[in-house]
């Protein structure tokens, strides 16, 4: 038996006055998700634990069966894996942007006017050595890039140079402990900040941008330091299960690579509101021919929650639901629909409440829940489980996880 | 957002024939607790874990987010903190009573006829040194006192001198392991027993009591050895949350101090059936002006359960419910009503069953439970959580606990 795991990011919400006390999911028309609930078993899931607000990274690690207490080493390595940079154990990784600074290093724009590519910037720094440390810098979508420091005696316990606001100066990276490794890493990073300004400032690309009235991309900003420590793959942990990922956002592709999934390249999968869900669902169906588990990640519900836009979030739920129609009725396939965390439109950021979960397929103990929503699923036969339980359930139901004991 | 956490001690019960199969809580008229359930989300809570019968100490530690496996070091330190004795890391602490013995050290009464004060007794021993160990003894309510041994090379792994029954001799304290520290501690304690008899026997207070036909307070009885090991405060663990405690019973004040709460002095809060709940609720409302979380402890339900008196327990539930009316409708405040454990009237002691839990406030995913009771709350949207989850939920909902991950 195969399985499709659909994660609708940040789908969970709180009761909203504009929906007469319903959540976005409860208010949305979701005939296809309702079919999964009605023909399957439902429940609630805390991706980490009750009362814990999960990050996007920790929640997905837990959902893929890796306890973040053991396997979470910061966001950097997961973002960098998402860019597609092959990593070595011990690499120090960062999320990075190309931004715009004034002559005195005051930040004018953290994204250099949403510059379309960082490919030329990366070419100027990728492969450079600073104090014997190799700098790896590869372009990601738009103004983003993946940054890796590779060398001996480095530490992830360092700050960032990105203050995450404009009108203030680029930060000096500080070591966060007293070790020589943290001091060395901070020193290399501060030299990298200076070098990026020196190399980017006079790029022909930037002269052209300025002439066109655009902001130049003249500084490398980075944050989210983390050490890459490999983790056991899904295949190792679940009896040879081969998994593939269909996602738009870099982080989710990175997490998928971290847990050993094949990341499929799907045209039109942008991770934004305009993402082509039809193309993604088509890719899922294709991937089922070669893989046992397909992870389908849909991001827009989280973005709309962060944008505090209930109408848009509802629209995105309905767009997701329509696309999911294409996955109903697959033979010998367990269909699992859930989310990674709650992102209430009333807050605009992640919160702690559990999310709706439903799964349907041959052999499932069908319960009497007929609507996919936070409070309908709460009455389902799965009760309230944790993220770390989910892959065990999926892998056991599909026959990949074996007996514990004898 | 602020929060009030109401713990109705030992509230949980079992079905009773005299209430036609209802529990005390189900049989009681509780319009105000029902309002919390109806306007909020409900569930069951195992303060430790399913099937584990919690002590009053371990349950409250867990409810305040400290795993008792790591942070429970015996009842002594918590009782002594309740008396208000400032402790140092490593102090060996005991609950103690002044009792009555015959000339041959046979116990006539463990509470010396419920003697009104131990202040004079404490003055005779407090500050004494035995084998270089400092004895700290401070009066608590009625016949009770807090006992601390302070010095080097001491161990909490010792027995007690209090046999907890009458007609038998005062016990010789035994070391419970082979360490020199346990041997030394037991020796000091046995000398203390003798010294207390020697010093108390001829007190003018006792001569007066005997002349009045009362039992003399002529022996110091102690039990519940534990070492004081400080724990991280609520403020440290939950992003600067300032908490205050409104309680009558010494243990609860002690636990509150242990977790870093300010303990408020409320006139009329006795921890007994006669406790002035109106005064306590008034104190809670006042404390909300200066604190983020108020812990309101109400003891009488547990006492009535231990007294195996269902009618009295029901009366106490209704008395609590009436007082709680004063806490309904507070603005920007999460109201949480629950208990620490079950104390069935049919048993007269703690038992393992989970307790009812309901919480109401802005942003809560209101479920369809409308009555606060063990079996109504069992159908609620919180499902079945653990004590260790509760503070995470409260601190996340009020915004004090931050994201885990990024």
Residue A178: partners with Cβ closer than 8 Å, 6 or more residues away: none
B406 vs A75: CB contact, 8 Å cut-off?
A: yes
**Does residue A44 have a pLDDT over 90?**
yes
A68 vs B366: CB contact, 8 Å cut-off?
A: no
Structural domain boundaries of chain B? 2-71+231-397, 79-227
Determine the pLDDT at residue B141.
87
Q: Which of B39, B381, B64, B237 is nearest to A353 (CA)?
A: B381
Q: Does domain A2-71+232-397 have CATH number 3.40.720.10?
A: yes
**Does residue A286 have a pLDDT over 90?**
yes
CA distance B355 to chain A (A): 17
Q: Considering only the beta carbons, identify the residue of A14, A68, A75 that sits closest to B365.
A: A14
Contact A83, A146 (CB under 8 A): yes
Tell me phi and psi for residue A271, to 5 degrees: 75, 5
**Does residue A141 have a pLDDT over 90?**
no
Determine the pLDDT at residue B183.
98
**Residues forming a β-bridge with A138:** A146
Residue numbers in B near A58 (CB within 8 A): 404-406
What's this model's pTM, rounded to 2 decimal places? 0.94
Segment A259-287 shows an average pLDDT of 97
Determine the pLDDT at residue B313.
98
* Residue listed under structure tokens 């991937």: A287
ipTM of this complex prediction, to 2 decimal places: 0.93
Average pLDDT score over chain A:
97
Q: Are strands B219-227 and B144-150 parallel, antiparallel or unpaired?
A: unpaired
Residue ranges of chain B whose pLDDT lies below 50: none
Q: Which of B144, B142, B154, B127 is nearest to B80 (CA)?
A: B144
- Residue A265 CB neighbours (<10 A): 9
Residue B373: partners with Cβ closer than 8 Å, 6 or more residues away: B22, B23, B25, B26, B356
Contact A260, A291 (CB under 8 A): no
Tens of pLDDT, residues B47-85: 999 999 999 999 999 999 999 999 999 999 999 999 999
Residue numbers in B near A222 (CB within 8 A): none
**Does residue A180 have a pLDDT over 90?**
yes
A51 vs B389: CB contact, 8 Å cut-off?
A: yes
Determine the pLDDT at residue B324.
98
Determine the pLDDT at residue A225.
97
Q: pLDDT grade, residue A310 (50/70/90)?
A: very high
Whether A14 contacts chain B with CB within 8 A: yes
Contact B370, B37 (CB under 8 A): yes
Determine the pLDDT at residue A320.
98
**Does residue A83 have a pLDDT over 90?**
yes
CATH architecture of B2-71+231-397: 3-Layer(aba) Sandwich (3.40)
Whether A59 contacts chain B with CB within 8 A: yes
Identify the three-state secondary structure at position B405.
coil
């Amino acid at each position: 038996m195969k399985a499709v795991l659909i994660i609708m990011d940040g789908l969970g919400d709180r009761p909203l006055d504009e929906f007469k006390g319903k959540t976005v999911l409860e208010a949305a028309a979701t005939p296809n998700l309702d079919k999964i609930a009605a023909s399957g078993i439902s429940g609630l899931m805390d991706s980490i634990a009750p009362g814990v607000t999960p990050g996007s990274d920790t929640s997905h690690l837990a959902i893929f069966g890796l306890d973040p207490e053991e396997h979470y080493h910061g966001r950097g390595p997961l973002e960098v894996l998402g860019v597609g940079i092959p990593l070595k154990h011990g690499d120090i990784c960062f999320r990075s942007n190309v931004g715009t600074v004034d002559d005195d290093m005051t930040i004018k724009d953290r994204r250099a006017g949403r510059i379309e590519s960082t490919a030329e910037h990366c070419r100027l720094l990728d492969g450079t050595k600073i104090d014997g440390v190799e700098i790896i810098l590869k372009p990601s979508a738009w103004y983003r890039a993946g940054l890796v420091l590779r060398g001996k005696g480095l530490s992830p316990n360092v700050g960032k140079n990105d203050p995450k606001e404009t009108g203030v100066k680029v930060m000096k990276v500080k070591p966060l402990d007293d070790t020589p490794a943290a001091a060395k890493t901070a020193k290399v990073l501060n030299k990298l900040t200076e070098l990026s300004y020196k190399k980017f400032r006079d790029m022909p690309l930037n002269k052209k941008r300025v002439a066109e009235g655009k902001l130049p991309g003249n500084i490398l900003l980075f944050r989210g330091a983390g050490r890459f420590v490999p983790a056991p793959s899904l295949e190792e942990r679940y009896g040879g299960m081969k998994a593939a990922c269909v996602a738009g956002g870099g982080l989710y592709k990175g997490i998928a690579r971290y847990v050993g999934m094949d990341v499929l390249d799907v045209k039109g999968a942008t991770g934004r509101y305009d993402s082509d869900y039809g193309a993604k669902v088509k890719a899922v169906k294709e991937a089922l021919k070669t893989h046992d588990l397909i992870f389908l990640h849909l991001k827009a519900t989280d973005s709309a929650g962060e944008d505090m836009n209930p109408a848009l979030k509802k629209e995105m739920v309905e767009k997701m639901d329509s696309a999911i129609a294409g996955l109903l009725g697959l033979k010998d396939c367990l269909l699992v629909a859930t989310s990674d965390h709650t992102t209430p439109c009333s807050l605009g950021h992640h919160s702690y409440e559990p999310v709706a979960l439903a799964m349907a397929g041959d052999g499932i103990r069908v319960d009497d829940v007929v609507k996919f929503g936070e409070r309908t699923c709460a009455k389902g036969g799965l009760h309230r489980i944790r993220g770390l339980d989910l892959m065990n359930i999926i892998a056991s139901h599909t026959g990949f996880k074996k007996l514990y004991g004898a």
